[in-house]
Amino acid sequence: MRNYLIAGNWKMNKTPSEAVQLAKEILTLVKDSDYRVMVAPSFVCLPGVAEVLKGSNIIVAAQNMAGTEEGAFTGETSVLMLKDLAVDAVLLGHSERRHIYGESNEQINAKVKLALKHGMMPVLCIGELLEEREAGKAETVCFEQLEKGLAGVSEKELDNVVIAYEPVWAIGTGKTATPDDADAIHASCRKKIAEMYSAAAAEKMVIQYGGSMKPENIKELMAMENIDGGLIGGASLKADSFASLANFNK
Ligand code: PEP
């Protein structure tokens, strides 16, 4: 079995004190989860949340980072700053970064490589828009995001990469891809990884699903052969709901 990862993306929600409170509540509820668990608070919430979760089974992730280590980049946050806070993972290429802030595959690729260089786990988010799905281009879009996002990443480095397939039309909309539809894209992406790297690399690759995942639908999604976890927005903002996700098998 692949090493499932259940992750909460808190987006631009929670003040630093609310985030600390949420982290404390989650910690008590998910300490016996059978899976890897991760939370991604906003930058200003990271110090407090990292302190609460220090030494626990919960991985702390950032929601983004700069594509260079340091310098004159007003408003950006560096991998070195995140490492100093004991942040071990980073979401990269989330659809809100791609579509609201115009991040390109090339910029995302620079961030993926920088994260890997510093021993951080990048969660590379990919996924198609509704019009791309309706035009039959879902796979083509995801393949391009995979190829360009992973350009220059070696097979050895790939061990520390997670992919999150998030159809953009399912994020925050309440519309979930059916388990079969989601699994079909996950399977195609796994095949693509096999072509880009090797069958062994594809078999090991953790591919999360994201898009209105919640306690009511996680079991049917996780029952699919190629779905290895979830990247969860809305349903990760309450401790009991997130704990139900992290403990979905209990
Ligand atoms: C996300 O933020 O990546 C996400 C999938 O959000 P939601 O679960 O709210 O659809």
pLDDT in tens, 176-203: 889 999 999 999 999 999 999 999 999 9
CA torsion sign for 90, 161, 224, 137 is positive
Protein residue whose Cα sits closest to atom 1 of ligand 1: 233
Residue 163: CATH number of its domain: 3.20.20.70
Domain extent at residue 127 = 5-246
Q: Given this model, what pLDDT does residue 175 score? A: 85
- For a ligand 1 pocket test, name from 166, 207, 221, 227 the mutation site with the most ligand atoms within 8 angstroms of its C-beta: 166
Between CA 185 and CA 226 the distance in angstroms is: 9
pLDDT, tens only, 48-69: 999 999 999 999 999 999 999 9
Q: How confident is residue 84, by pLDDT bands cut at 50, 70 and 90? A: very high
The stretch 80-103 carries a mean pLDDT of 97
Count of structural domains within the chain: 1
Place of tokens 């980073």: 90
Distances (CA, A) of 53 to 1, 123, 186: 26, 19, 31
Q: Given this model, what pLDDT does residue 172 score? A: 87
The stretch 150-160 carries a mean pLDDT of 98
Q: Where are the alpha helices (DSSP H) in 150-217?
A: 155-158, 179-196, 199-204
CB of 167 within 6 A of ligand 1: the answer is no
Q: Please state, for a pLDDT cut of 90, what percent of the chain lies above it.
A: 96
Per the annotation, the verdict on 94 as an active-site residue is: yes
Q: Whole-number mean pLDDT of the chain? A: 97
Q: How far away, in angstroms, is 107 Cα from ligand 1 center?
A: 22
Atom of ligand 1 nearest to the CA of 91: 3
Identity at 98, one-letter amino acid code: R
Produce one character per residue of 206-245: b if its CB has 16 or more CB atoms within 10 Å, e if not. bbbbbbbbbbebbeebbebebbbbbbbbbbbbebeebbbb
Q: Please state, for a pLDDT cut of 70, what percent of the chain lies above it.
A: 100
Per the annotation, the verdict on 99 as an active-site residue is: no
Q: How far away, in angstroms, is 72 Cα from ligand 1 center?
A: 32
pLDDT, tens only, 211-245: 999 999 999 999 999 999 999 999 999 999 999 99
Q: How far away, in angstroms, is 193 Cα from ligand 1 center?
A: 24
The stretch 67-83 carries a mean pLDDT of 98
Q: Given this model, what pLDDT does residue 117 score? A: 98
Q: How confident is residue 174, by pLDDT bands cut at 50, 70 and 90? A: confident
Prediction pTM value = 0.97
| SS3 at position 156 | helix
Atom of ligand 1 nearest to the CA of 214: 8
pLDDT, tens only, 107-142: 999 999 999 999 999 999 999 999 999 999 999 999
